[in-house]
Structure 1
Amino acid sequence: MNIADIATKDYAQVDADERLGKVRSVFEQDNPKGIVVTNDGDYEGIITERQLLQSHVEDDAKANVLTRSNVPQVNREDGVREVARMLVEGDTKVAPVFEHGDLWGVITDNAILNAVLDNLDVLTVDQIHTEEVVTLREDDTLGKAINHLRENAISRLPVVNDNGKLTGIITTHDIADFAVRKMDRQRTGDRRGDTERMLDLPVYDAMNSPVQTISAEASVRDAVERMFENDFGGLVVTPDDNDEFVAGILTKTDVLRALTYTEEESMDVQITNIGLLDGISREAVRESITEVADKYKDMQVHHAHVRFTEHKERMRGTPLIYCQIRLRTNRGQIAGSGEGYGSKTAFRVAVDKLERNVLELKGIRADEEYKGQLLRKLNEL
């Protein structure tokens, strides 16, 4: 199946000189995945809703201030698997589609997932969901929620009570909606003071409850259909026998990533925000992760995902980069993360942490085997 079969020419578009206030209104009225930005009719880039929600740019600024020019550009004849990889590695839910060098339309994550929906019965949620989950307590502040969302480059956070039971979920969209409602009710006074007071409010005031969940044993098709029905970008994954506790998160991006898995002999490594990769090649990334994985011979890596996130802080012009490496293996998921100035440094720190975690897992496994042997010997007495 080619992207030509599922891409659309129906998309939102604004000029690069348009006010961001108008861009916000387009998102509110039409709810697009992203808005195409043009300059005198020529393609300039994309503005995504997440960019707009996470920015502090005033409404009077021009659209080109937030325009992403590094969004991957898709050809109408590209295959679904390759485009799914491009969306994941470009960290975007929408991409422009070109034909003979001219902008033809756009492709979204929803369009791809809808096209392959019938084939998702072969996967279970447990096979592809993310196990490592950042959670919040009900009395944590909105400011803390925003920091977690930015630092971890995620869009949703499960909320738990003092007993660790799932009571709600908060997303970037929830926070933006809550802020707009608060500002509408507080049209007078010091806006900076209002904002600071809002950031001190507990997440309980803005979270969604009850939470839509999916069990780990459910099919990925069931999960995606539920996301479509409720217009969700992800679902909280719960243990098969208990929907009160958090076992992980499944997002549309996780499903797209699964579409790109290959059966190659060499490890499949996927890099999100590949444009930040500087001073190190994809092959060097693959070799470093393979070297770490080989230190635990009983562990087979099915898939490796490396994510780079750029922070505003810089040193001599080099940005501070956060790197997270996640391995999906026959021993479960293993991760390592770290930050440094430049992607090469950040990756090395993350690899070191990953190696420590792999060796720790190896030690735990060895301890379990030793305990098992000891128990067997005791039972023979």
Structure 2
Amino acid sequence: MDISEILSTKFTEFDIGTPLSKVAGAFENQELDAVVVTDGDEYRGVVSRRQLASSSNQPSAKVGSQAQHVPTVERTEDVREVARLMIGSDAKTLPVLDEERIFGVVTADAILEAVRPFLDAVTVEDAYSPKLVSTTPEATIGKALNVLRESGIAHLPVIDGDDLVGMVSLYDVIEFTTRGGSKSQGGSSGSFGGRGRSGGSHGGFGAREGDSDRMLDLPVRNLMSDAVVTVRRSAPLDEVVETMFEHEVSSLVVTADQTGDPVGIITKTDVIEALTWERDDRNAVQVFGLDLLEGMDYDDVSALIESVTSKYGEMSVIKASIELQEHKEQSRGVPLVLARIRLVTDRGYFTADGEGYGATHALRLAANAVERQLLKGKTYGQSKKQSDAESQEHLYGWWLSG
């Protein structure tokens, strides 16, 4: 199945010279995840809701300075390949190009809607994050914001004792501190950036420093949404997607079937990632853009990943995803390349970028960055279990026949 029937030719576009304050206003549209940045007719990148919410740029700054290079795809690209690119680049919206010009966009929501009927063979238990990062009603909003940013997440359940009492998101906090402190109606926004109900976020635009500081000292209970959407650990993923769309949220708190206690969280990212699992070889190293490497082949890349992960004790690599993206900028005829490494291990997630002239140089810089993370023990969440062989066959039978 390709993306020709699910891509959208309607997208929000800004020239590189547009002030970020104007771009921020576009995200008042809760359906909008990212905007396209262009220079005349030339595509330059995207700026996402989450990226803008996490930044602290002045409103007079230009959007071109924040344009993010994400993978671009063709109209006939396979859905599963697009899912892989989304996971590898941590992007929820990918541009669709036609002869180097922007033609449209494909979103994670469009993919999830298309594949929902085929997700009944995989359960929440196969895909969710069993580590539940949370906060308490009495914690300060500032502390919650630190947890959100340090953990690389956008949604934070609020737990009082043993009870799940609320949810707060990165967008709730930004909205609260930049709009004068009125209580959000927020929802739980997923790792890709959210469709929460708290309104658009403005990355710190317009906040007076003193007022913002005082609001960050308020307790989380002043901000949290009382409505928390949950799902049973044994529920199939098609039910997860249906619930997310119904409640317009991007994450669900996972509860134990028998006790109802919160045991983890599942996001749209997790469901998209389930589409990228390898049926036959779950430990395979996936390389996107292998043809860009000079003097290295697939075996060399696999050996590099093994050498990086073998230095730091017992670690089982579930999946390694490497993406190489070439930019137009060159130095002495050598193109600038972005290399992104994403490791899913039994000790958690590790992800890092490297940018250099030549793919081999960029890849080694990214590998060095991953090594530093391993040394510090810095992870981006717990690893996921993989579904059993029968479920994999059901899920991938569709991919192979589509």
**TM-score bin, normalised by smaller chain:** 0.7 to 0.9
Aligned to 1:260: 276
CA 1:294–1:58: 2 relative to 1, 3 Å = closer
Aligned to 2:246: 229
1:199 aligns to 2:212 (yes or no): no
CA 1:74–1:259: 2 relative to 1, 3 Å = same
Aligned to 2:348: 335
Aligned to 1:211: 228
TM-superposed deviation, 1:52: 1.1
8 Å contact kept, 2:3–2:75: yes
SS in 1 for 2:36: strand
SS in 1 for 2:149: helix
Aligned to 1:310: none
Aligned to 2:164: 166
CA 1:344–1:292: 2 relative to 1, 3 Å = closer
TM-score of the two chains, using structure 2 as the length reference: 0.70
**Deviation per CA, 1:14-43, whole angstroms, max 9, x where unpaired?**
111112221111110363110011111221
Query: Over alpha carbons, which structure has the higher Rg?
Result: 1
Distance 1:93 1:23 in 2: 18
**Deviation per CA, 1:320-350, whole angstroms, max 9, x where unpaired?**
xxx98543xxxxx543769999643443355
Aligned to 1:320: none
1:251 aligns to 2:267 (yes or no): yes
**Deviation per CA, 1:188-242, whole angstroms, max 9, x where unpaired?**
xx92111111111111111111311111011111111111111111111111123
Distance 2:235 2:28 in 1: 33
CA 1:105–1:225: 2 relative to 1, 3 Å = same
**Deviation per CA, 1:160-203, whole angstroms, max 9, x where unpaired?**
11x23211111112112222332689xxxx92111111111111
Equivalent positions of 1:335-374 (< 5 A) are 335=348, 343-351=366-374
Equivalent positions of 1:56-95 (< 5 A) are 56-68=56-68, 70-95=69-94
TM-superposed deviation, 1:270: 6.5
SS in 1 for 2:231: strand
1:40 aligns to 2:40 (yes or no): yes
8 Å contact kept, 2:282–2:318: no
Amino acid at match of 2:306: E
Equivalent positions of 1:120-199 (< 5 A) are 120-161=119-160, 163-182=161-180, 191-199=208-216
Distance 1:182 1:217 in 2: 42
TM-superposed deviation, 1:353: 7.7
Distance 2:343 2:166 in 1: 28
8 Å contact kept, 2:172–2:223: yes
SS in 2 for 1:3: coil
Distance 1:338 1:13 in 2: 29
TM-superposed deviation, 1:135: 1.2
8 Å contact kept, 1:336–1:350: no
Amino acid at match of 1:62: K
**Deviation per CA, 1:330-376, whole angstroms, max 9, x where unpaired?**
xxx5437699996434433554688xxxxxxxxxxxxxxxxxxxxxx
Distance 1:150 1:208 in 2: 19
Distance 2:369 2:230 in 1: 34
8 Å contact kept, 1:337–1:353: no
Distance 2:376 2:286 in 1: 19
Distance 1:339 1:75 in 2: 26
Amino acid at match of 2:154: S
Q: What is the aligned-residue RMSD (CA, Å)?
A: 3.4
8 Å contact kept, 2:308–2:367: no
8 Å contact kept, 1:18–1:62: yes
Amino acid at match of 1:252: K
8 Å contact kept, 2:88–2:322: no
8 Å contact kept, 1:166–1:246: yes
Amino acid at match of 2:66: L
TM-superposed deviation, 1:250: 0.5
Distance 2:103 2:352 in 1: 39
8 Å contact kept, 1:337–1:349: no
Aligned to 1:51: 51
8 Å contact kept, 2:133–2:156: yes
SS in 1 for 2:109: helix
TM-score of the two chains, using structure 1 as the length reference: 0.74
1:283 aligns to 2:302 (yes or no): yes
8 Å contact kept, 2:181–2:215: no
* Bigger helix fraction: 1
Give identity over the alignment, percent: 34
SS in 2 for 1:136: coil
CA 1:48–1:295: 2 relative to 1, 3 Å = closer
1:110 aligns to 2:123 (yes or no): no
8 Å contact kept, 2:229–2:253: yes
Distance 1:183 1:39 in 2: 37
